Structure 1
Amino acid sequence: MAALAACTPENAVPSPVAANAASGAASASETPPAAASGTPTTATAAVEPDAVTPSPSTAPSSTAPSSAVAPQHSLTDPTSPWVIVNKHRPLNPQDFVPTDLVQPNVRLAVSGEAALLNSTTAAAAEKLFAAAAAGGVIMTLASGYRSYSTQVATYGGYVASTGQAAADRASARPGHSEHQTGWSFDIGDGGGACSFQPCFADQPAAVWAKANAHKFGFVVRYPWMFHDTTGYFYESWHLRYIGVEAATDMSARGIATLEEYFGLEAAPDYL
């Protein structure tokens, strides 16, 4: 299992070795206006037919969002904290640009657009990083926002180097990367070890995030051994904001993926 381009910083050079090492699966990694209080903007079912109201009627009762989780949010609107972006569900519009990108006050390992998040995610990230530091764990922001044009270049580099089939195992197609939403980012460890590599899972930053990220509204979006659902191998560095209530609900009930939580089909490959 290799760390792959969708979560590779924008200035990285496509690696045929990394792409070939993935053989048969992928890795992902690849703003919305938010209320002044920091609460994500709510979408209503009348406006967004693909919104989810926390109710067992939308998914199996064992995995549907708990009735304690409110309000409902859209699964397709990229300004929604519950938007689902995967190999079956591209962004709409595909060249979406968040309107409130900001640079969070955290330790940065990158600059430029990669240091940006949407304002809601940035505020939550600041609390996450501060809590980790208080616990003796230093995190870095290793890759944040990634524009459509950046993903075009990244994915195109893989296609040119390895062909499209291998590229699809190594990099999100343009318009299919969570990084473009502003709701996701990759973390690094303060010691700099194992960035974007499988061994990162054993670094203090990854261990702490796995145990505590839900308290700040984040989930590890591509968990271990769920690549047949998410389309990507384990990425212990890739965090996704969905809100404290939903993230805590998922953690308490042992639900690993957003696809399962929201009753969506698995998306192992592009349609």
Structure 2
Amino acid sequence: MTALTACSPGSPAPSPTAAGLPTAAGSLTPSSTATPSPSTLSAAATPSGVLTTEHAPAAETSTAPGPDASSPAPAPTAATPKFSLTDPTSPWVVVNKRRPLNPTTFAPADLVQPRVRLAISGEASMVNSTTAAAAEKMFAAAAADGVIMTLASGYRSYSTQVTTYNGYVNTDGRAAADTVSARPGYSEHQTGWAMDIGDGGGVCSFLPCFADQPAAVWAKANAYKFGFIVRYPAGMQAVTGYVHEAWHLRYVGTDVATAMATRGIATLEQYFGLPAAPGYL
């Protein structure tokens, strides 16, 4: 069975115009429009999504499965969002195969390189400023526990995703490309809120066996304390559209991350009561 994966750093790199993209991909030119800092987001300032001034976690009676469930259970009672679920500058934005970024060419205005051990350079070594600050604390805590973690891939621009996706289309066709690479405008990496981690030993990077490496084991147990979740947990591909990616961490803030960890809620889709996204419409 072909593995579905949202992160594909080792893809071919043909010209972005070499193959046609889905209509939803939009322009190849990243937006230069400045966006507000995530730290300033509020119910009054966020232009879209369902908003309230207080966050109400999912119901205690939730029957949501844990990260290793073999099939998705009914979604728990939806949490009431404090931030937008559609604005890409929001820490709670939900991006999947049914929820593209708006605009699809979004580019964060506050990209920085976190002061952590890097296994990559260029744009991929950056995340937005909020994610960077949380990552620095998380990497330091892991090191204090004797676990060396690296930043293997962070931000990925729209134009980079165009090149990555088109490379797979040119080589294998669109249907196969959709199983291994997110379409441009549909990748969490483009938001600045996501990053892929590596292990200090450099073993099993972007491979299923990474789940057994010290960095992945530590992150699964502790990342929530710093506001991160493992975005694509095991057994949840029918909900997220991707098989397990132990390396792909997503910043959502400590409120959501802790609530999900405490109640065993596996995915953002289930936490917010959103439809599953196993494939593109």
Shorter-chain TM-score above 0.5: yes
Shift of 1:47: 3.6
* Structure 1 equivalent of residue 237 of structure 2: 227
Amino acid at match of 1:176: Y
Distance change >3 Å, CA 32–CA 205, structure 1 → 2? farther
* Structure 1 equivalent of residue 12 of structure 2: 13
* Structure 1 equivalent of residue 95 of structure 2: 85
Distance change >3 Å, CA 260–CA 66, structure 1 → 2? closer
Amino acid at match of 2:151: L
| Cα distance in structure 2, aligned partners of 1:134 and 1:40 | 31
User: Secondary structure of 1:141's partner?
Assistant: strand
Shift of 1:246: 1.0
Matched, 1:34 2:37: yes
* Structure 2 equivalent of residue 19 of structure 1: none
User: Secondary structure of 1:236's partner?
Assistant: strand
Query: Which of residues 112, 123, 127 is equivalent to 1:113?
Result: 123
Query: Which of residues 125, 147, 150 is equivalent to 2:135?
Result: 125
Q: Map of 1:203-242 to 2, 5 A cutoff?
A: 203-242=213-252
Question: How many pairs align?
Answer: 247
- Whether the aligned pair in 2 keeps the contact of 1:59 and 1:262 (CA below 8 Å) is no
Amino acid at match of 1:255: I
Shift of 1:7: 1.3
- Whether the aligned pair in 2 keeps the contact of 1:65 and 1:246 (CA below 8 Å) is no
- Whether the aligned pair in 2 keeps the contact of 1:102 and 1:118 (CA below 8 Å) is yes
Amino acid at match of 1:54: H
* Structure 2 equivalent of residue 54 of structure 1: 55
* Structure 2 equivalent of residue 168 of structure 1: 178
Query: Which of residues 179, 189, 214 is equivalent to 1:179?
Result: 189
Moved over 6 A (4+): 1-5, 58-61
Shift of 1:249: 0.7
Matched, 1:245 2:244: no
User: Secondary structure of 1:185's partner?
Assistant: strand
- Whether the aligned pair in 2 keeps the contact of 1:109 and 1:140 (CA below 8 Å) is yes
- Whether the aligned pair in 1 keeps the contact of 2:49 and 2:87 (CA below 8 Å) is no
User: Secondary structure of 1:73's partner?
Assistant: coil
| Cα distance in structure 2, aligned partners of 1:160 and 1:79 | 32
| Cα distance in structure 1, aligned partners of 2:36 and 2:148 | 29
Cα-to-partner distance string for 1:78-124 (whole Å, 9 max, x where unaligned): 00000000000000000000000000000000000000000000000
Amino acid at match of 2:97: K
- Whether the aligned pair in 1 keeps the contact of 2:46 and 2:83 (CA below 8 Å) is no
Distance change >3 Å, CA 61–CA 114, structure 1 → 2? same
Distance change >3 Å, CA 179–CA 123, structure 1 → 2? same
| Cα distance in structure 2, aligned partners of 1:230 and 1:167 | 17
* Structure 2 equivalent of residue 24 of structure 1: none
Question: Over aligned residues, Cα RMSD in angstroms?
Answer: 2.5
* Structure 1 equivalent of residue 271 of structure 2: 261
Shift of 1:43: 3.5
Distance change >3 Å, CA 2–CA 210, structure 1 → 2? farther
* Structure 2 equivalent of residue 17 of structure 1: none
| Cα distance in structure 1, aligned partners of 2:203 and 2:40 | 33
Shift of 1:45: 9.0
User: Secondary structure of 2:116's partner?
Assistant: coil
- Whether the aligned pair in 2 keeps the contact of 1:42 and 1:80 (CA below 8 Å) is no
Shift of 1:34: 3.2
| Cα distance in structure 2, aligned partners of 1:141 and 1:3 | 23
Amino acid at match of 1:262: F
Residue identity over aligned pairs, in percent, reads 66
| Cα distance in structure 1, aligned partners of 2:35 and 2:217 | 29
| Cα distance in structure 2, aligned partners of 1:232 and 1:196 | 13
* Structure 2 equivalent of residue 141 of structure 1: 151
Distance change >3 Å, CA 263–CA 33, structure 1 → 2? same
| Cα distance in structure 2, aligned partners of 1:82 and 1:270 | 21
Distance change >3 Å, CA 256–CA 217, structure 1 → 2? same
Q: Where does structure 1 lack aligned partners over 5 or more consecutive residues?
A: 15-30
User: Secondary structure of 1:251's partner?
Assistant: helix
